Amino acid sequence: MSGAGRIDAVRDVGPRRWAVAVAGALLGLVLATTHWIGFLVGGALVALPQRTVPRGIVTGTGFGVLVWGAFLATLALDGTAAGYVGMGQVFYLSVAIPVVAAFLGSLVRGLG
């Protein structure tokens, strides 16, 4: 089976699609803890198994939001979330980075 054929096989089966997406999200998350490229990679890996391009973009971007939420949760556990939210432009930038990067990554769903 060709590469495209394999992707199609994944996209056609719901449980398989979501399993791959979750695995992609975990990989992206792990990567994101060491480098921002993880948001982009995660966005792409989550988007690729989706059946349509718009779904891919929504899911990929959702990955960015989810990872940002995880980040906020770790700060909350450290007791520093309130300070983080009060950081003005730095806060907005840190929200934008995972969302925009994951969105960019999700666009690869449009490649085929």
Partner 1 sequence: MDRDLTRRALVGAVVGGGIGAGFLSPVRGYLRRFAPFAGDVWGAARRDLPGTVPSPYGEAALRYDDYGVAHVEGGNERALYFAVGYAQAADRLFQMDLQRRQMRGELSAVVGDLAVPSDRFHVAMDFAGAAEATWEGARGTETGEVVEAFVDGVNRYVEDEPLPLEFRLLGYEPDPWTGTDVMLGEKQISWGLTGSFRTLRKATVAAEIGQETAEQLYPYRMDHDAPIIRDGVGEFDAEASAAEAPPAAVDPDLLSRLSGFESPPGVGSNSWVVSGEHTESGQPILANDPHLTLMAPPVWYEMNLATDDLSVRGVTFPGVPFVIIGENHAGAWGVTNTGTDVIDFYRYDTRNGEYRYGDGWREFETESRTIAVADGEDREVTVRKTVHGPVIGAESDGDDLVGEVGVAWTGFSATKTVDAVRRMSHSDGVDSFREALRDFDLPPQNMVYADREGNTLYYVTGRHPRRYTDGEPVRGTRVFDGSEREGEWPGYTPYGESSWEGFVPFEEKPHVENPGYIGTANQRIVDDDRYPYYLAEAYGEPFRGRRLWERLDRRIGSDDPVTPGFVRDLQCDAYDKRAELFVPTILAARETIDDDLDPELDRLEAWDYRMTRDSRAALAFARFVEHYRRDVFAPRLREALDDRRDVEEYFPNDWVLLHLDDEDWFPEGRDAAIATAFEKAVEEIESNDWSVYGDYNVTAIDHPFGQSWLRYPRYPTDGSKATLNNFRKDAAVGASWRQVVPVGDGESGAVLPGGNDGDYFSDHYDDQLGLWADGEYRTFSREITGTTAVTFGGGEDS
Binding site for partner 1 (CB under 8 A): 32-40, 67-68, 71, 74-75, 78-80, 83-84, 86-88, 90-91, 93-94, 97-98, 101, 104-105, 107-108, 110-112
- Residue placing its CB nearer to partner 1 in the complex, 18 or 72: 72
For the bound state, the minimum distance from the C-beta of residue 22 to partner 1, rounded and expressed in Å, comes to 19
The residue type of 23 is: A
In terms of Cβ atoms closer than 10 Å to its own Cβ (0-12, 13-18, 19+), residue 52 is: exposed
- Residue placing its CB nearer to partner 1 in the complex, 13 or 112: 112
Nearest to 46 by CA among 68, 16, 23, 74: 23
**Cα(78)–Cα(100) distance, rounded to whole angstroms?**
26
For the bound state, the minimum distance from the C-beta of residue 15 to partner 1, rounded and expressed in Å, comes to 28
For the bound state, the minimum distance from the C-beta of residue 49 to partner 1, rounded and expressed in Å, comes to 17
